[in-house]
Structure 1
Amino acid sequence: MCRSIKTLRPPFTESVSEEDMRAAALQYVRKISGFRAPAPHNAEAFERAVAAVTAATADLLATLEVRGAAKR
């Protein structure tokens, strides 16, 4: 689907920044909306979607348990 989105969980990535999560969210929203950059009348909805996906990503990564990985 989104080939430029990299895996953000251990062991693939040791540390993940807010910027990494937002970049992945932006790529996802771009892909599903079909817009690289939204028109001005859609900008607020686009940014809300990016923020929601970023928050969901942070929640997911904070609660995933990876077998054999050291606890943080």
Structure 2
Amino acid sequence: MCRSIKTLREPYASDVTTEDVRAAALQYVRKLSGFRSPSARNAEAFDRAVDAVAAATQVLLEDLQVKQAPQRHP
């Protein structure tokens, strides 16, 4: 797993931005491809992959159902 990718779901993160999702997608694609920065001939494929991973990540985060913490009664 990419060590620089942080958990983006509640309760580990709040106020996750589009930039957070895209940064995680970029790190993932970099790890899989082995390219920090792709060559000009691979840039379009690289960018499409980042977009696809970011979109899938956003859908996942929106669809996850996180168990609520039990409410404490005083």
Bin for the TM-score computed over the shorter chain: over 0.9
TM-score, with length taken from structure 1: 0.93
TM-score, with length taken from structure 2: 0.91
Among the aligned pairs, what percent are the same residue?
A: 67
Query: Which structure 2 segments of 5+ residues have no match?
Result: 70-74
Paired residue total: 69
Query: Which structure 1 segments of 5+ residues have no match?
Result: none
- Measure how far apart 1:14 and its partner are: 1.0
Which residue does 1:56 correspond to in 2? 56
Q: Which has the larger radius of gyration?
A: 2
Give the ranges of 4+ consecutive aligned residues of structure 1 lying more than 2 Å apart after TM superposition.
Answer: none
Alignment of 1:15-34 (within 5 A): 15-34=15-34
| RCO comparison, higher one (Cα < 8 Å, 6+) | 1
> What RMSD, in angstroms, separates the aligned Cα atoms of the two structures?
0.8
In 1: Cα distance, 2:24 partner to 2:39 partner: 21
